[in-house]
Amino acid sequence: MIKILIVEDEEPIRNLIRLALRKAGYSTVCAEDGMAAADRLEEETFDLILLDVMLPQVDGFELMEYIRPSGTPVIFITAKNSVTDRVRGLRMGAEDYLVKPFEILELLARVEVVLRRYKKTDAVLEVGGLHIDTISHRVQRGMEEIPLTPKEYELLLLFARNPNTALYRETIYERVWGGEYIYGSKTVDLHVQRLRRKVGWDHRLRAVNKVGYRLEV
């Protein structure tokens, strides 16, 4: 399982990120300041670090110097939104720089992008009775292979990686089709209906009123 270190001194934000990542299937460890994070890094290895800049004792930029030799990818999460700070963080080797306040779905999307870049995503997902091989793009239920179109497969992965999370139609469209959602479009709904039938998720992939869809597992 992918393991992510969350270094954030604000408890409500730390808990929100931890809960969202765990719902998405990641293992998480939290540190409330730079020294605690350094101690964790001495004891364990991580696939990704989410790092606040403004931390007690040792700030995020200083901690980044300690992290960099390990090669562990880092996403800065901070209220410091000046161009100078963003450029500094990226030049220090961070993979991304996310400014507070942010949407949790945006954070999850950026986490997925960085993990894919480092080839650290789970090769196989087991969710809702399905076996999903993300390398061969094969989807099976038991011994039966389920043929999916490219868009249906991308849609399946989006739900599989965000279980028990209500996803807006706008978010689904942007993540799968890569464009701006047109209000009233039935593209998402039609593809969800086809996906439900093909993978047997009639009672799992539920519509959320005035929002979109949620995979219940």
Phi-psi region of 59 (alpha: psi -120 to 50; beta: other; left: phi over 0): beta
Per-residue pLDDT reduced to its tens digit, 31-85: 999 999 999 999 999 999 999 998 988 899 999 999 988 889 999 998 877 788 8
- What is the rounded CA–CA span in Å between residue 76 and residue 41? 16
Q: In whole angstroms, what is the distance from residue 15 CA to residue 17 CA?
A: 5
Cα-based torsion angle of the residue sequence 9, 11, 17, 19 in order, rounded to the nearest 10 degrees: 150
pLDDT at residue 87, as a whole number: 85
Going from the N-terminus, what domains does the chain have, and what CATH number goes with each?
A: 3-117 (3.40.50.2300), 124-215 (1.10.10.10)
**How crowded is the C-beta side of 28, counted as CA atoms within 13 Å?**
20
Sheet containing 167-168: order of strands: 167-168, 212-215, 205-208
Q: Which residue has the tokens 């739900």?
A: 159
**Regarding beta strands 138-141 and 130-133, do their DSSP bridges make them parallel or antiparallel, or are they unpaired?**
antiparallel
Residue-wise pLDDT tens digits, 97-132? 999 888 888 898 899 889 888 877 667 888 999 999
